[in-house]
Amino acid sequence: MLTQMSSRQSGMVLAVLAAFGFSFKAIFVKLAYQVAPVDAVTLLSLRMMFSLPLFVITGYAYLRSGPALGWKDWLLLVFLGLTGYYGASILDFMGLQYISAGLERVILFTYPTITILIGLLFLNKPLSVRLGIALALCYAGVSLVFISDSQVSEDSVAPWIGAGLVFASAVSYAAYNAFSEVSISKLGAARFSVLALVISIAAAQLHFLAVNPVSDLVQPLPVYGYCAAMALFSTVMPIFFQSGAIQRIGAGRTVLVGMLGPVMTIFFSWLILAEPMTWAQLCGTALVLAGIYQVRRS
């Protein structure tokens, strides 16, 4: 079907599919938590184990091409692998034990503004009025969604713990975004993504072996199903969909289409997980999306 569309139309379709896949990650995590007392470390380990063969098969050619890497290149790759796919994921999985999937997605979606703050603090980037407005809109929206969720929570402490962990996840992913440009410019996006993911998978497995017995990998069949679905539909496929969208319509438009993600997560968490959907949650999400739009315009 994509071959019959124009480049712009197929790019938009791919961007929507990427947003849909990424938005479902939190849904799969919450479903896995519902069917078994599995912890975040085990869940991440299983997700990474299912992702590895898919990425190796699709990315093997990229691993064999490109320039040789020096020790500085490897150090930066290790840092990016730990902050990106591993660090951001484990903090996110831990946070989802305490808060709704909708709040998680809204907090995570502030990572572009956190990337800007990292640039302001460490990379001597200027702060414009438009960026200041974007920051204010995003964090006002997050506050509104957080207040809405905390009012319906039975535990007054859990929302704070979960929001803190997910915000730390957003900070980790923002650091990955802010400092990945150097590696991408040398390795290319595809080779960089595969190498960073392999490092993340190794870190996730070492973390699991350090804190859990191997027997914890024995889980009910539904947990394996959700982890496999997470690996395929919310990790591997969206990454390639997103790359294809960027190639056809550019990074800016792809990110703007990706703003559908939080809305999709809120809708499907209401439909599948029976999580409450409030006007405060929707208004807060709209504020965050308006802030991200201001970031993209800048």
Confidence (pLDDT) at 115: 73
d(CA 275, CA 272): 8
Confidence (pLDDT) at 42: 93
Give me 55's structure tokens.
């990425």
Show the 3-state SS of 7-29: HHHHHHHHHHHHHHHHHCHHHHH
Give me 223's structure tokens.
């947990």
**Sequence spans of domains, the chain:** 2-297
Confidence (pLDDT) at 225: 94
d(CA 239, CA 268): 21
d(CA 54, CA 231): 9
Using CA atoms, how far residue 190 sits from 75, 79, 193, in Å, is 19, 18, 5
pLDDT along the chain (298 residues), means of 10: 65 84 89 91 91 75 68 85 86 90 82 74 69 79 79 76 91 80 73 81 92 92 93 83 74 69 82 82 80 68
Residue with the two structure tokens 């201001």: 294
d(CA 226, CA 156): 29
3-state helix, strand, coil in the chain (%, to 5): 85, 0, 15
Confidence (pLDDT) at 212: 92
Confidence (pLDDT) at 2: 54
Confidence (pLDDT) at 66: 65
Confidence (pLDDT) at 71: 78
Residue with the two structure tokens 């470390």: 41
Confidence (pLDDT) at 62: 63
